[in-house]
Amino acid sequence: MRIGNASGFYGDRFDAMRDMLTGGPLDVLTGDYLAELTMLILGRDRLKDPARGYAKTFLRQLEECLGLAQERGVKIVANAGGLNPGGLADAVRELAGRLGIGARVAHVEGDDLGPRFPDALTANAYLGGAGIAACLRAGADVVVTGRVTDAALVSGPAAAHFGWGEGDHDRLAGAVVAGHILECGTQATGGNYAFFGERSQGELLRPGFPVAEIHEDGSSVITKQDGTGGFVDVGTVTAQLLYETSGARYAGPDVTARLDTATLTQEGPDRVRVAGVRGEAPPPTLKVGLNRLGGFRNEVVFVLTGLDVDAKAGLVRAQVEDALTRSKSRPQEVRWELSRTDRPDAPSEETASALLRLVVRDPRQDPVGRALSGAAIELALGSYPGFHVTAPPGKGAPYGVFEAAYVERGTVDHVAVLPGGERHPVAGAGDTLVLEELGEPPLPTPLPDGPTRRAPLGLVAGARSGDKGGDANVGVWARTDDAWRWLAHELTVERFRELIPEAAELTVVRHVLPNLRALNFVVGGILGAGVASQARFDPQAKGLGEWLRARHVDVPAGLVEVTEPTEVLP
């Protein structure tokens, strides 16, 4: 079966749904609209109006595309229901009736565990694909869900199509891996790709969305529709496989997929076969994502131009600290960060300027609003020469805190609400297996000693990084066997901490994935309380891997000669 993706996040390319429906044959079109931050946003929407809480963009896309999907026999499966999947299903039915389209609509619910976590704004269990499969087996044309795992949008339809049961661990694991590759949309087709400089800008201008051709044994071919931009190769698929994962065992509610067993093969232009994935019984617990309102935050960025940048930063910092103390409303948390974006003898004022960023947090709004505004702006005529800010601080905005909890799967009422309104309870996995980390596999034979060259790590290795709550993961991979032989021994946890000083005092765990010629690092707590708390300059760690690639190391000279990138083509 052919499963396509038309959304990797709430706010992705609006016309992707139409493009995918008109671009080639599909059996199912999925849309992933949810993330940790999205659930917080939807939670705040629901506070304003209990009838909200779902991704409204999805409805607008369906208004253009529902008839087209029906004509072409394409099922639509999306987690756009967010915190209100029943409400979205009703809205889709109303839309279908208004358009005169006889679409059968179903939804999946049971993930909302708010009553168990009364202090949380949102509390949602990550459900698997079994509810989606039940809806499709009952004849649904459109299935909307709340918080299912991203990969469930693919494993559910595959299970329904091929008749897999909960014990078909290897097949389900193969579909979960395919779903993980598809879930972030164009990240599988050249978007955000480390080695983008080897491709033309025209090729990268508008990447097409990915398609998985899934086979009955669980293997798949990752591809894209003919004539679309971007590209699919072993590198783009490897990068997405490593994204926001950790070790060899990738646990989910349907199955635990063994990422260390996956093999990737370039089968042809824009075609990568994913095979050999082994599966194990899922864990006995389900993950629950919790979002809480953590308080209020504000920030101001001072621009320091020209000479004496450090002295200017020192003066304004002392002045603001003094003013905050005098106001008797000093914020609970005050954080300064100086970014030396300036350069000597700069040809423009912008390139002659550094940025001093002040971020404040407090449970109350006043200390981050009025207190900060007064402390910062009243200095305008009495501080360092050239004083100005990028924008004046506002009143202060609420921020969120994310954390994960776990509940026994048998205590969660996973329900498929079928097209006719029947409520179909979804049984939990019959067999489960407590999740344990695998031991480190044998490393490849090291490269023999030889001449080296001081060069960026990224000339040899690709990377992709992302967030999981307060932790970040950085997946690093090599494209040749020799580069892997060097990387596996060079990039130890100790070396990683040297190259990423922010991680020096944090817990860093390295996972080795030889089949992918990859290392995956999990950096505990580097993102504070999660993306919504905006604890660092890059709150989702999207650029962390690229920072690592930019660090200079002693690389075997032969590897650099082979892999040094060419200039970006026009």
**DSSP labels, 251-314:** E-SS-EEEGGG-EEEEEETTEEEEE--EEEPPPSEEEEEEEEEEEEEEEEEEEEESS-HHHHHH
Show the tokens assigned to 391.
């924008």
pLDDT band at 530 (very low <50, low <70, confident <90, very high): confident
Measured CA to CA, the distance from residue 161 to residue 175 in angstroms comes to: 12
Q: Which helix (H) or strand (E) holds 121?
A: none
Secondary structure, 3-state, 178-230: HHHHHCCHHHHCCCCCCCHHHCEHHHHCCECCEEEEECCCCCEEEEECCCCEC
User: Per mean pLDDT, which range of 62-71, 166-175, 357-366 is the poorest?
Assistant: 357-366
Count Cβ atoms below 10 Å from residue 10 Cβ, excluding itself.
23
Which pLDDT score is estimated for 56? Answer: 95
pLDDT band at 566 (very low <50, low <70, confident <90, very high): very low
Show the tokens assigned to 433.
């297996």
| pLDDT of residue 563 exceeding 70 | no
Which pLDDT score is estimated for 529? Answer: 76
User: Per mean pLDDT, which range of 182-196, 429-443, 454-468, 478-492 is the poorest?
Assistant: 429-443
pLDDT band at 387 (very low <50, low <70, confident <90, very high): very high
Show the tokens assigned to 9.
């996040």
| pLDDT of residue 136 exceeding 80 | yes
pLDDT band at 567 (very low <50, low <70, confident <90, very high): very low
Mean pLDDT to the nearest integer, 108-114: 97
Mean pLDDT to the nearest integer, 172-201: 96
Q: pLDDT averaged over the chain? A: 94
Which pLDDT score is estimated for 177? Answer: 98
| pLDDT of residue 504 exceeding 90 | yes
pLDDT tens-digit readout, 542-562: 999 999 999 999 999 999 865
Contact 205, 190 (CB under 8 A): no
Decide: residue 383, CB within 10 A, 0-12 exposed, 13-18 middle, 19+ buried. Answer: middle
Residues in the chain: 570
User: Per mean pLDDT, which range of 224-233, 264-273, 529-538 is the poorest?
Assistant: 529-538
Count Cβ atoms below 10 Å from residue 393 Cβ, excluding itself.
22
Contact 387, 379 (CB under 8 A): yes
| pLDDT of residue 125 exceeding 70 | yes
Share of the chain above pLDDT 70, in %: 98
Contact 272, 265 (CB under 8 A): yes
Measured CA to CA, the distance from residue 505 to residue 492 in angstroms comes to: 15
Which pLDDT score is estimated for 570? Answer: 45
Share of the chain above pLDDT 90, in %: 85
HSE at residue 360, side-chain half, CA atoms within 13 A, is: 29
| pLDDT of residue 564 exceeding 80 | no
Mean pLDDT to the nearest integer, 469-485: 95
Decide: residue 164, CB within 10 A, 0-12 exposed, 13-18 middle, 19+ buried. Answer: buried
Hey, what amino acid is at 23?
Answer: G
| pLDDT of residue 343 exceeding 80 | yes
| pLDDT of residue 536 exceeding 80 | no
Mean pLDDT to the nearest integer, 427-453: 90
